[in-house]
């Protein structure tokens, strides 16, 4: 059975073989016990369909001057065998992290993935000028940024011109804080 014949029989039986090949979900890698349909409406009799009729995979019948095909028991058995060998047995379950991310996508959680996992991300704070006095006292801070920890509120990085520098300052402050805890 060629790949094209395999896909045609899959479509006739209501199975999306392309999706089953690409999917990482276990439920897409197994066939149902019974198929919910077994017909294919095709206007013209192509060479591929003629080959499948000669091999005994499908049978042709006409209804309302249109060509319909249904899969024979031989075709269903060959389709099941090929599906098991090419798709089901080749399935490698996704890693734990990919499974968690898929659970997050499937859930109706409105927050970010880090919130879903319970991770407290630090906050990026941009310097804002307040009063007229603050403008002259903290003129050098205007347009700068720092990072503040949510988990450890006393851990704050220094104001820096670049976010990259603010991250390194925050990491140093966090490292010192954790060292003091020991």
Dihedral of CA atoms 106, 107, 110, 116 in degrees, nearest 10, equals -100
Claim to verify: residue 51 and residue 127 sit in the same structural domain: no
Claim to verify: residue 74 and residue 124 sit in the same structural domain: no
- Which residue is it, tokens 């990026």? 124
Q: How many domains does the chain have?
A: 2
Any domain includes 80: yes
Claim to verify: residue 89 and residue 126 sit in the same structural domain: no
Any domain includes 103: no
Q: Which pLDDT tens digit goes with each residue over 62-72?
A: 878 777 888 88
> In terms of residue numbers, what domain contains 132?
119-181
Claim to verify: residue 88 and residue 127 sit in the same structural domain: no
Note the pLDDT of residue 5. 84
Note the pLDDT of residue 34. 84
| pLDDT value at 151 more than 60 | yes
Any domain includes 67: yes
Report CA 49 to chain centroid distance, whole Å. Answer: 35
Burial of 94 (0-12, 13-18, 19+ CB in 10 A): middle
Pair of tokens at residue 70? 């249904």
The residue from 47, 76, 93 where one domain ends is 93
Give residue 129's pLDDT band: very low, low, confident or very high (50, 70, 90). Answer: low
Q: Which pLDDT tens digit goes with each residue over 35-82?
A: 888 887 876 777 888 888 888 888 888 878 777 888 888 988 998 888
Q: Which pLDDT tens digit goes with each residue over 95-120?
A: 888 888 888 888 888 888 888 888 88
């Amino acid at each position: 059975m060629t790949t094209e014949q395999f896909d045609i029989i899959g479509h006739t039986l209501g199975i999306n073989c392309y999706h089953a090949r690409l999917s990482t979900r276990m439920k897409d890698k197994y066939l149902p016990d019974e198929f919910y349909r077994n017909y294919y409406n095709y206007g013209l009799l192509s060479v591929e369909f003629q080959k499948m009729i000669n091999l005994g995979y499908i049978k042709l019948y006409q209804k309302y001057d249109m060509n319909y095909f249904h899969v024979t028991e031989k075709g269903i058995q060959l389709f099941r065998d090929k599906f098991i060998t090419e798709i089901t047995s080749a399935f490698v379950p996704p890693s734990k992290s990919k499974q968690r991310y898929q659970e997050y996508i499937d859930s109706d959680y409105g927050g970010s993935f880090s919130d879903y996992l319970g991770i407290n991300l630090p906050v990026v704070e941009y310097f804002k000028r307040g009063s007229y006095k603050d403008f002259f006292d903290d003129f050098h801070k205007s347009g700068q940024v720092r990072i503040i920890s949510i988990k450890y509120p006393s851990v704050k990085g220094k104001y820096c011109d670049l976010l990259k520098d603010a991250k390194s300052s925050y990491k140093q402050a966090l490292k010192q804080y954790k060292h003091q805890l020991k």
